[in-house]
Every structure is written in C-alpha cells, then in structure tokens.
Amino acid sequence: MGDPNGFLTVKRMVAPDRTPLDRIGDWQDFHTALPCGEQERQGSRCMNCGIPFCQAGVLVKGAASGCPLHNLMPEWNDLIWRGQWQAAWLRLMKTNNFPEFTGRVCPAPCEGACTAGLNDFPVAIKANECAIIDRAWAEGWMQSQPPARRTGKKVAIIGSGPAGLACADQLNKAGHQVIVFERADRPGGLLTYGIPNMKLDKAIVARRISQLASEGIVFRTGCDVGRDIPAQQVRKTHDAVVLCGGATRPRDLAVPGRGLNGIHFAVDYLTASTRWLLDGHQAGRPAIDARGLDVVVIGGGDTGTDCVATAIRQGCRSVRQLEIMPKAPETRSAQNPWPQWPAIRRTDYGQEEAIGISGADPRSYLTTALACLNDGRGRVGSLETARVSWVSGSQGRLTPVPVSGSEQTVPAQLVLLAMGFLGPEQTTLDELQLARDARSQVQTGEGTYQTSLEGVFAAGDMRRGQSLVVWAIQEGRAAARACDIWLSGASLLPG
C-alpha cells in the first residue's frame, strides 16, 4: 500500500486556506485544493503499516480512535498515488455515503490514529478524501442510480440531517420507497442550517440532495412530525419509521438577565444567517444580526467557532468567546496517548479570523457568565463575567466555582449561547411513548437500532447524543441495515 518510502521522502502538505483577511469579506468556501500531482504524492505517504488504526473506529479507554465508517484509507491512498482516481472513488463510496461532507467538516479522527503520526505528521487523509469525491463530481462519475427494483415497502425517515440522509440513501438502495420528513424549509438538517456556508457550501449539500431525489427519495419539507402531522399517523401509513431528528435541545444559560432581548441560542443565530444568505442576501439583513454590535459567544467547540466567524462576516464591532474549560495542552498529555484522538489546543478558522482583525485570540478560558445586564431599554448591553476554578465535590465530581474578585464587565449587545445540547426534543417521543435513557435519548435494542416500539428505529444524535457528522452517517447506515432486516428478513446492506 503506497510508496514504502513515501512517509520518509514526502512531507505532509495540505492546501492553505484563503487568508483570514481575504475570506472574511464574503461567505464563500475558504478552502483551496492542491494540484493533482501533489495530492497524489500525499497518497504515497500512506504505507502498509500492518494494522490500519486509521480505519478502526473504536473506543480506546473511552476515547474515540479512527474512522467510525471504517473507510478503506490505505486502499484509496494507494490508488490515488498510482493515479487511479476512479478506482479510489469506488473504494471510498463503499463505506461513506457523503465524503464531500466529511472531507470538509470532519475533525478527522482517522488522522489522529495514523501510524505515521506517531513520530511525524499524519497522512493528509481528510484532504485526500475530499480530493477524490470532488474529482468524481467534476469527472461526471457521480451519476443517479435508482434501484433496479422496488420492494413495495414504505419507510418514513424523520429528520434530514446526516443520519437521516445516510439512512435514506441506504434504504433506497435496498429498494424501499423512502419518504424523508423535514420541518425546515430545506432538507439537510445541520448540514444546511447548522454549518455556515464558508465551511460547507450549501450548493454542495443541495447537489447531493438533488441526486438522492433523482434516485427516488421523496423529501417533505416544512413538515414537523409531532406538530404538523401526528407521529402515530406517520407510523400507520408506513411500514417502518426511522427517527433521525438529532439532539436539538440547546443547553440554556441560567443567570440573571437571561430574558433580555439580544440573547439567542447559537443554532438559531446560524440558521437565521444561512437562511438570509440562501434567500438572497442582497436585500435586508438577517433576522439576528451582529452588524455594529459587541458580540459574546458563550461556549467553545465547532458551533462557537462558527458563531465567531459569522459575526465577523456580518460586521460586528468586536467578538469575544468565553470557554469554561481550561486551555488544552499544545501536545498530547500522558493521559491522551496515540491512537486516541489528540485532545490538544487548536486555533480554528473563526479564531484565526478574529486574530487577523484584532491581533488577539477571542477566547477567554476558565471564564463563565454571571449575569446579563440591561442596557435600560430591555436589551442586553453588557455581560458580567468571572474566572472559574474547577473544584472537586464530595463525590469527586469537578464543578466550576467562580473565583472571588475576578469579576469583570464586558460590552455585549448580542450574546450567543453555544454550550452544547441536552438531547432530542421530546414531543414526538412522548407521543409514541418510546423508552428513553437517563439522558432523554431514544433507547434502542443492542445492535438492532429498534426502539421500544416495533418497527420504529432511531439513529444519530437522537440515539447516541451530540456527536460528529461522521458518526451520524455511520449511525444512519447501521440503522438502515437493521430496518431492512426487519422489513425483509435479511439485508445485503453493509452495517
């Protein structure tokens, strides 16, 4: 697999992103691509390492390691090194329904487990993956392939995020008639409204959804199951139902002044921005607008970064990001050994852009909000913050405690809450009277993805909690196989 000396003679190279000060002036993709020849050289760095930890997709002492989809990285890295791009694409599509999504937004746990990364830089797996699928679209290899036969069975999928789309794609391949219910005005779930356009161009999402529709999948948008239509009615009119509604209940901020105007959940802010962009942003402004305001983003992670980058493009006056956790180490700690995902400090695109403008990182670590302060007109005008110390309680659980004397007031006319999610919304689950676990997530049988209600399945964040796009795709594929077995008695779909 690959050039036996490639990892020694070829240095890791990924295409540079557009510079921060260049890209903040528009909403276009900030990624670029390497020339074909250099991308092929990057494939040569993948050697026959004996055990491809990159594709393991397992937990190592509770931490994720490798690709949950078990992508065949050594095979398609070798094939692009040899210039056999179409063969590489066929290998890639065996395990991943949507590499154009993961190749752009996945944090690449495969690279964290790459053997070459033990004492050097890992293979540029994510960039190679993206290059393969982008070439497939450009060359016309990605053609509509409706199933040759239909089974006569109808499956309803509730939710059109990555889990729902992957499940729909697989079940459609098996010949079932698939109807996807989506409450938003466009399909795609978080791929459409949860990830900004500059990180995942919505034309790429729409292109894939258009292909799925051409293959026979029906999308019913603007239909909120459990509100616009009873969940029981959906169940009665379909042979099976798969719940892929995500973990969309955001964690709130319980501080004085929370009810003031100008405080929003991050997902609402990002949705408003993308909808404004897709609806034709030449006229008007987004429903939630950062222009000319001091913005404070509470919370880290991808969502917090996306809020920072969006606020900058909307023309905010300033942006800060509060993170209650301590700053991560620069290198792996002894408690985070290879092949676990490296929990190290990263400066993502939003922070790069803030640094490019002000020269300072917008993040304040070990910091929490104590109160939202009224500007005298019913809107938030500033935020009282404090440093925290993580203190061990009587049961050994660490709790953040404000440090006396560290209080500070910062300007904030727009506060965005990006503190994660508490689990799925409960309306549909209550109506169906489904069993749930202690975290309010849908409970399913071991390995079956079937809920406590026969013929009703669940996948993605709704079942396992907030996670990565790549995990959602894996969940959708596995649930599709389980559903196909229940419908047909057997399945040729991979798990």
Pairing of strands 318-323, 294-298: parallel
pLDDT value of residue 1: 56
Report yes or no: 471 and 166 within 8 Å, Cβ to Cβ.
no
Instruction: List, in order, residues 6 or more apart from 311 with CB less than 8 Å away.
Output: 290, 295, 297, 319, 414, 416
What integer is the mean pLDDT of 109-133? 95
pTM of the model: 0.96
What confidence tens digit (pLDDT) does each residue in 347-367 have?
999 999 999 999 999 999 999
Q: What is the pLDDT of residue 78?
A: 94
The answer on pLDDT for 2 being more than 70 is no
Reported as a single tens digit per residue, the pLDDT across 164-195 is 999 999 999 999 999 999 999 999 999 999 99
Q: With contact defined as beta carbons under 8 Å apart, do 439 and 35 qualify?
A: no
The domain made up of 263-417 is a member of CATH 3.50.50.60: yes
**6-139: CATH superfamily:** Alpha-helical ferredoxin (1.10.1060.10)
Tell me which DSSP letter residue 432 carries.
H
Q: Where are the domains of the chain?
A: 6-139, 154-248+422-488, 263-417
Cis peptide before 339 (omega within 30 of 0): yes
Q: What is the mean pLDDT of residues 147-154?
A: 97
Measured distance CA(114)–CA(205) in Å, rounded: 29
Candidates 3.40.50.2000, 3.40.50.1370, 3.50.50.60, 3.40.50.720; CATH matching 154-248+422-488: 3.50.50.60
pLDDT, residue 11, reads 95
pLDDT at 24 over 70: yes
Domains 154-248+422-488 and 263-417 share a fold: yes
Alpha-carbon gap, residue 30 to 107, rounded angstroms: 16
* 42-51, 359-368, 417-426: range with lowest mean pLDDT: 42-51
Contact 396, 126 (CB under 8 A): no
Q: Is the pLDDT of residue 282 over 70?
A: no
